[in-house]
Structures are given as structure tokens and as C-alpha cells.
A and B are shown apart, each in its own frame.
Chain A
């Protein structure tokens, strides 16, 4: 059994969220993915307004509807819109089926704007997945690095964070998170460059590494290869592909009466 914390609906064939999710889950099954997390809607929005946020999350909820606990959702929030984001957190996580938070590129995550969202997510035991990249070509204005995330995580030691893309340029990203015990790194969304998982295990410990693919922009194949091909022990592979995600989500899944 493999759990994937990072998937999207954008870029899949199909005109509805239901159609796209069915397509994704068929390929996921072929590749051995038993549990797929998804976030955001049919189209990407860098800086969604409150109306966009609601629409994105409605589409994600529709995608989850037919897949029971094999598909899990992360609510998409924009820290620029505090009240709307808190309302979405209540609607989709506290009162709804979603199990975590997704933050993308609207605001750098070291901003204090995130604090009320993080505090409420922590109360709900909802992990927060933050997109991060170190780009040689330059980041977007609101695009976080993993150093931004380390700063946020230090302010909120009771919250649980997932560093999306391991910082993108993982040789840099992983270094910034050595002293952030409440941050796990997600392995998806960059080329299957050798040594990435080995470095993550070496620098952070295997319990802080979880599998993510960033499908459908990436293939399951290239992202699974980072773990399948890494020079690590078999038990470490199982932890990254399955056990660590299960442990990360156990508190919120149990609170919802879902299987961990």
C-alpha cells in the first residue's frame, strides 16, 4: 500500500472533478497507490479570492465524493483572505471530510498573515502542506522557500507542516529544515534526481520523509522512482511510502472516525 499526499485535478482529461478523479484513481491503482490526497480545483489560481477559494474547494469535494477513504482532500486557503480562509477551514475540515490544508504561492509563508490559519489547523490536527521552491530562475513574488517554512514552523511548534517539493532544489531545501522537527518533507514535484531521498533520510531522519507525487503534472513513475530507487533500507522505503503518511494523518482521521 502506498499513500500519496500530493495530487491535483488540473491537467487531467475530463470536464468535471468526478471524471478527472476517476481517471486519476485508475492510474493510481495501476501504480500501487492505495490512498491519494488531492487539493485545489479544475484550474490553478495563484492568488484566489474568497469566491475562487470556495469554488476550488467545492470541486475538490466533488472529486472526493465517490472514493470514500481512498481519496483524501486538503483545503486550499489564501492567507490574504483570513476570514474566508477560516470559513473554508471550518466548512471543509472541521465540518467536512478534508484532512489537511494546502497553501501555495499567494503569500510567502513566513508572513504573520498565516498565524490564525495555522492556529486553527493545529486545533483540528490538520497538517499544513506548503509549496516551497528555491529557483535559480527566481521565485514568484509570493512563493515560499523552505526557509520561510522553517520560520513559520518555529512560531507554531504544535502545528504539523509538510514541506512541498522538499524545497524544490532539495540540496538547499533539506538543509533549511534540519532544526524543524514539526516539518516533514514531501518528495514530489521535481525531476527524479538521484540522491534526494538519501539526503532527506540522512539529514532529517526517515520518519520526516513522506511520499508525494504532484500528479498529474508529474508521473507517478518518476516520483515513485525516487523512493524505489534510493539507496536506503527496505523498512525505510515502507515508512516513506506508507507508514509516515499514516502516522501524520492518524490524529485527524481518528477524530473523524476514518481508518488511519
Chain B
């Protein structure tokens, strides 16, 4: 039983992926014993009409979840605090689509983490008891398409932001292990910030990262289907963690934050 907190549906614009369509993604997740997946659409990174993107996501998940046949897909809408009416986009995520969380792309949407609109959005997210995911990086800078050159999101402002919103619960996706302790440790010690490890690299890199932040702040996230889900699965084998920690990372912690049903 695994809850994968970092999965995407839809079309990636820069190459064909080996799996086409939601059903193929869902089947592949099931084959890897991933029973629940928190999903967004790739189109949420690139489109401007996010209400339409989130509506499409909700529909895809509803169809895929019919009959409880395979991996349960939990929709996470994409919100851009620089959009002219993000509050309405957020309202629809909650009230029309019953989404339990939202995914944010500060790098792709072009705002720093000390942007006042982001603070307002995260406050609204917390007030609605939603879970927030902030994507730190989309792709290795060296292999990006020349038209899309994005750096990793600078996290310096995040500890202060988290401290100001005491009910906020947030996950950093595609966390970079090179972020210094003065930023990572306050986030981890808040007990309200979690990390995935899809982009945490190096031999036994996840074990080292877990020592820094504590296994209680790790959630399984594969970045499938851009990355092979086997990468995150095997990283936990390489980390050689105790079984209780593995269960917590695989599903207990995530399911405590966002119930799967």
C-alpha cells in the first residue's frame, strides 16, 4: 500500500511519455502497488485558464475512480496567485470539485515566495483546511527546452511564511537536498512542512536527507510519469530504513494529511 503524492496526468509538451492517457497511468501505478495518487494536470503548469484545467482534472479523476478498480486518483488543482481571479479558481477547486489540496508552481508561474499574493493564497488555503504543494523544480536546468529556462525556486522566504500561517500544512515537491540547513531545518521542525524525495540524489541520499529532516516529514512522491516511479521506490530500498519508517513514508503520513476516501 503506497500513497504517491506527486503524480501528473495530461500532456507533457517536450516529449512523448511511454504511457498515454489517464487509464494507462493508473494501470502503471497499480502495477507498482501505488494505491492512491495525488494528481494534477501538466497543463496546469502552462495554461492560463486554470479553472478549465482543474475542471478537466476533476473529470479525469472521477472517470478513473469509477468502480474502485485501480489506483485511486485524488485531484490537486493548480492555482496561480498571479492570476487575476485566483480566489474563484480556489473556490471551485473546493466547492465544485471537492479537492483536498492544491499544487503551486512558483518557478513556472513567475513569482518569488515572498510575493504578498502567495501569502494571501496560502492563508486562504489554510483557512479552507486544504493541503498545499509547492513544486521547487520542474526539470534539470541542463536538459530544459531552450524556450523554457527555469531555475529552482528560492526557498529562503518560506520558513517565515509558514510561521505566519499557523494552520498551514504544506509539502515541497521535487525538493533539492542542496538547500542549506538554515532553511530546511526550521521547515522540518515546524512539523507542518513535508518533503518528497523524487529529486534527492546520491548514493544513500534519501537516508542522509531523512537524517536531516526526520522520517516523519517525508512523503512518498515519485514525479511519475516524468520520472520512473521505480526511482522513488528503490530509493527507499537503498535508504535501508526501518519498516515502521517505511510504512509512515509510504502511506501513513500522507493518508493522515489527506484521507484517500
Across the interface, which residues of B come within 8 angstroms of A193, CB to CB?
A: 143, 226-227
Judging by beta carbons under 8 Å apart, are A31 and B238 in contact?
A: yes
Judging by beta carbons under 8 Å apart, are A195 and B18 in contact?
A: yes
**Which candidate, A88-96, A122-130, A133-141, is the interface stretch facing chain B?**
A133-141
Judging by beta carbons under 8 Å apart, are A220 and B203 in contact?
A: yes
Asked if A230 meets B228 with Cβ closer than 8 Å, knowing A169-B142, A198-B18, A219-B204, the reply is: yes
Separation of A231 and B225 alpha carbons in the complex (Å): 12
Interface band, chain A: 35 or more
**Which candidate, B80-88, B128-136, B155-163, B229-237, is the interface stretch facing chain A?**
B229-237
Judging by beta carbons under 8 Å apart, are A225 and B234 in contact?
A: yes
Across the interface, which residues of A come within 8 angstroms of B204, CB to CB?
A: 27, 219
Asked if A229 meets B238 with Cβ closer than 8 Å, knowing A11-B202, A136-B149, the reply is: no
Across the interface, which residues of A come within 8 angstroms of B240, CB to CB?
A: 30
B41, CB-defined interface residue at 8 Å: no
A-B contact count (CB 8 A): 114
Judging by beta carbons under 8 Å apart, are B203 and A12 in contact?
A: yes
1/0 per residue B139-181: CB within 8 Å of A? 1111111100100000000000000000000000000000000
Across the interface, which residues of A come within 8 angstroms of B18, CB to CB?
A: 194-195, 198, 230-231
Judging by beta carbons under 8 Å apart, are A221 and B142 in contact?
A: no
In terms of DSSP, what is the predominant structure of the interface of chain A? loop
Judging by beta carbons under 8 Å apart, are B140 and A190 in contact?
A: yes
- CB proximity of B122 to chain A, nearest CB, Å: 28
Separation of A30 and B205 alpha carbons in the complex (Å): 14
B17, CB-defined interface residue at 8 Å: yes
1/0 per residue A201-232: CB within 8 Å of B? 00000000000000111111110111011110
Judging by beta carbons under 8 Å apart, are B202 and A136 in contact?
A: no
A52, CB-defined interface residue at 8 Å: no
Judging by beta carbons under 8 Å apart, are B17 and A194 in contact?
A: yes
Interface residues of A, Cβ cutoff 8 Å to B: 11-12, 24, 27, 30-31, 133-137, 168-169, 171, 190-195, 198, 215-222, 224-226, 228-231
Interface residues of B, Cβ cutoff 8 Å to A: 15-19, 139-146, 149, 199, 201-206, 224-235, 237-238, 240
Given contacts A220-B203, A229-B230, 4 further A-B contacts (CB under 8 A): A27-B204, A136-B144, A217-B201, A217-B202
